[in-house]
């Protein structure tokens, strides 16, 4: 690798990690705005979306420039391709944070619904998946990336449980359908945050091992890892 290419890739790494940190922060704020019924916090998430969209464009342009000018091969090529995909995943997760914040804005102007929805627990799992997927990127850690993939089912199960609770609530309270559906929408967007984290983890596996594992069932276990 030439010194110029090394500098370009190092700069790209800094940008994608900055993007990841910004998206993590947006998800955290969006969930907090939902739980605390905080419209100001929700608005901060919504207004930050334009900045993240611009950052996504900058990172994509940087990736395309590296591919065109340096024609990297092997692990360097896989890294740039993985960053292109992760960049897109992060932008979509940022959009999910905005969607959650918009649901929070609506719900804060209506009386709360008495439903035992575990948004805090679901958010903690989804946010941990996002953090660990980015940690896996920094450390090129496929073991951690596979753990993230295995965690996705837990978030899916929480969302499925929330769906059933909301469905029952709507049946008994048809006058509160709009509020109930906004809660369900927030749950669905959190589930998609976890899906985005899973995609990033899969991109890390491709980057390190050159294997495309998307759409393959996750068989992660301690035994499979030889421990």
Task: Indicate the CATH number of 3-209 among 1.10.260.40, 1.10.3470.10, 3.40.50.300, 1.20.58.220.
Answer: 1.20.58.220
Question: In terms of pLDDT, which residue wins out, 60 or 216?
Answer: 60
Question: Does 97 have pLDDT greater than 90?
Answer: yes
Predicted local distance difference test score (pLDDT) of residue 164: 95
CA-CA distance, 177 to 191, in Å (whole number)? 21
**Distance between CA 103 and CA 34 in Å, rounded?**
7
- Using alpha carbons, select from 130, 151, 138 the residue that is nearest to residue 83: 138
Which of 18-22, 54-58, 218-222 shows the lowest mean pLDDT across its residues? 218-222
Comparing C-alpha atoms, which of 94, 113, 19 is closest to residue 59?
19
H or E element at residue 29: helix 3-36
Tokens representing residue 30 in the block:
């969006």
Average pLDDT over residues 129-158: 94
- Is pLDDT at 24 greater than 90 in this prediction? yes
Question: pLDDT tens-digit profile of 26-49?
Answer: 999 999 999 999 999 999 999 999
* 212 pLDDT tier (thresholds 50, 70, 90): confident
Indicate whether 152 pLDDT > 90. Answer: yes
How many beta carbons lie within 10 A of that of residue 117, not counting itself?
19
Q: How far apart are CA 221 and CA 227, in angstroms?
A: 9
Could you give the percent of the chain with pLDDT greater than 70? 94
Distance from chain centroid for Cα 76: 24
């Amino acid at each position: 690798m030439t010194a110029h290419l090394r500098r370009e890739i190092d700069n790209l790494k800094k940008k994608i990690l900055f993007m990841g940190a910004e998206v993590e922060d947006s998800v955290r704020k969006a969930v907090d705005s939902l739980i605390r019924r905080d419209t100001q916090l929700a608005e901060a998430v919504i207004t930050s979306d334009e900045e993240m969209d611009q950052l996504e464009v900058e990172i994509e342009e940087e990736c395309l420039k590296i591919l065109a000018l340096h024609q990297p091969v092997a692990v360097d090529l896989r890294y740039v391709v993985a960053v292109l995909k992760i960049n897109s995943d992060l932008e979509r997760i940022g959009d999910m944070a905005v969607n959650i914040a918009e649901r929070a804005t609506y719900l804060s102007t209506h009386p709360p619904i008495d439903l035992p929805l575990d948004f805090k627990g679901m958010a903690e799992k989804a946010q941990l998946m996002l953090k660990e997927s980015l940690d896996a990127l920094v450390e090129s850690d496929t073991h951690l990336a596979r753990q993230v993939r295995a965690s996705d089912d837990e978030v899916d199960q929480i969302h499925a449980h929330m769906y059933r609770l909301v469905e029952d609530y709507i049946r008994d309270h048809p006058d509160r359908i709009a509020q109930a559906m906004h809660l369900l929408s927030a749950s669905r967007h959190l589930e998609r945050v976890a899906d985005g984290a899973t995609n990033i983890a899969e991109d890390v596996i491709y980057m390190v091992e050159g294997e495309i594992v998307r759409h393959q069932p996750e068989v992660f276990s301690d035994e499979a890892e030889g421990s």
